[in-house]
Amino acid sequence: MAKRGAGISEAAFRTGILALGLAAGVILLINLSRALGVYAIFAYIILTSSGLVCLRILTPLGKDSASWVIYMLFAPVFWLMPFFIWGRGNITYKRREKLERAENKYIAHKFDDEEGLLSETLRLSAAFPQAGLTVKLLYDTGFPARPHTSYRYYPNVKTLYDDVLADLKNAESYVFIEENKVQTGPLWDRIKIVLIEKAAQGVEIRILTGAGGEGEIGENIFRELDVHGIKVIKLKKNTSIFKRLMPDSPENRGFIVIDGVIAYSGPSYIPGGGAGANFQDAGIRLTGRAAWGMTAAFMAMWEVRSGETQDNNIGVHEPKKEKKAADSGFVLPFIDKPGNQGRSILQAIQLRLISGASRFIYISLPLLKTDRALEEAIINAACLGVDIRIIITGSDRKINISASRGSYSRLLAAGVRIFEHDLNNAGVTACAVLCDNEQAVIDYSTAITSACSYGNAVWLCGVARLKDIETNFELMLDSSVEIRPEIWKNSSALTKISCLLVKGYQGLL
């Protein structure tokens, strides 16, 4: 977790604010009881009832607010300040409106004709009826089915970045890089050398990166890139006591686009690559027309961050050559964002996969942080006899591990098999769901949840090499420890209670 200010982490800072609100709430209740006596209970009921109404109105549809309800009961009135700061999500309505306007302009722009895209969507929907609703959802949100796209799945990003470097050397028109974090180290040094060489050859290069933190590239490197004509936008880090309350970046995206025909999705960072570097994350390489969706997503975010517009020349980055790939199914990259009823597009697709499974569902994710809807979908599928296996791939924060374990009890009781892979595995962000070897969705939100982080994801259906993803799942299962129901049942009551409390606390962060 990136540090904020004088050595205080974001989680510690937020915990302090929550503790202050809780203390103020307790003091308020004590004073009410002293001043009003037995009538204090009526004042408490009025305060909490009003709070529940406000919480229901202010909370976006699809967002789980159970943790805030519990917090409000102990801190009436004073729950409002932390909730308004980060309880409603990491993106303001003003920022969301800007993104939607830019996306409508760029992502909805099609270099194919509308009729051709619609006919292709209908054809593939007929060939894969189990995916028809998902295809329609993505089409309606600006990500139509584009033919002639193939993919390669990387279970290890070290191999992915070897291919990234090779493709960067062959770039002809432009390179767009958007990463939440770019860490210093040998890997970045190699990428930087190639980018400077390509910029000298006239290739347009743009880089978007997050607020930064310890071990990430600094202003001196940005100035060096600027000298070579490479455009870089870095979200400025909040440092003041008031601004630091707000999240630095609402986006958790990571992709690289080359000439509009090759795109790499994930992870949401460029690792340092030095001794002890973690390359265990997953990624996908797309080749073909679907890469345009990620090109347009980058340009939309660039407009929001920079204020630059290309109203009269939106199609300037359309691919000048096509790489057609004969794949019979769907390979659709998309950007997660609020969809129907406020629920994120990613969660809607995950729910569709889980509820439509008939044989098995494999899930791998760093944190088991499900909301009520997804948890119920998993339990219902398990009760219908679907073989569900969840692999927790790990986190560098023990509080996240405890929060994950807080969800074990109900899932294990329903017959879901849970495995722990490497709980001290720092930096992994990939979350994968594989259904019946027919569909898969891979994103970089670190957890299956309804919270929308405007991250990037890829949905796969009916493609020939989903077996690659299944093989990687099987390798992970072989090297993981299964948490059997009797093991969790025999755990101490203190362990179970602490995990449940931490799970609730995580809902406030």
pLDDT per residue over 190-241, tens digit each?
999 999 999 999 999 999 887 655 556 777 788 888 899 999 887 655 444 4
Residue environment code for 442-452, b if the CB has 16+ CB neighbours within 10 A, otherwise e: bbbbbbbbbbb
CATH 3.30.870.10 fits 340-506, yes or no: yes
Q: What's residue 41's pLDDT?
A: 82
pTM of the model: 0.79
**DSSP assignment string, 253-272:** -EEEEETTTEEEE--SEE--
Q: What's residue 2's pLDDT?
A: 43
Measured at the alpha carbon of residue 89, what is the angle toward residues 412 and 10, in degrees to the nearest 5? 85
The Cα–Cα gap between 461 and 352 comes to: 13
- Distance, CA of 59 to chain centre: 20
Only one residue has tokens 């930096």, namely 427
Taking the CA of residue 3 as centre, how many other CA atoms within 13 Å lie in the half-sphere pointing to its CB?
Answer: 7
Q: Which residues contact 212 (CB under 8 A, 6 or more apart)?
A: 2, 181, 218, 234, 235, 237
Higher pLDDT among residues 315 and 188, named by residue: 188
Q: Which residues contact 98 (CB under 8 A, 6 or more apart)?
A: 304
Q: Compute φ and ψ for 268, nearest 5 degrees.
A: -90, 25
**DSSP assignment string, 270-317:** E---STT------EEEEEETTHHHHHHHHHHHHHHHH----TT-GGGG
> For the domain bounded by 93-135+144-327, which CATH number is listed?
3.30.870.10
- pLDDT per residue as tens digits for the range 265-321: 978 778 775 544 555 678 899 988 788 888 888 888 888 888 777 655 566 677 665
Query: Omega into 267 within 30° of 0, i.e. cis?
Result: yes
Only one residue has tokens 């977790």, namely 1
CATH 3.30.870.10 placement within the chain: 93-135+144-327, 340-506
H or E element that contains 50: helix 40-58
- Whether 505 shows a pLDDT value over 80: the answer reads no
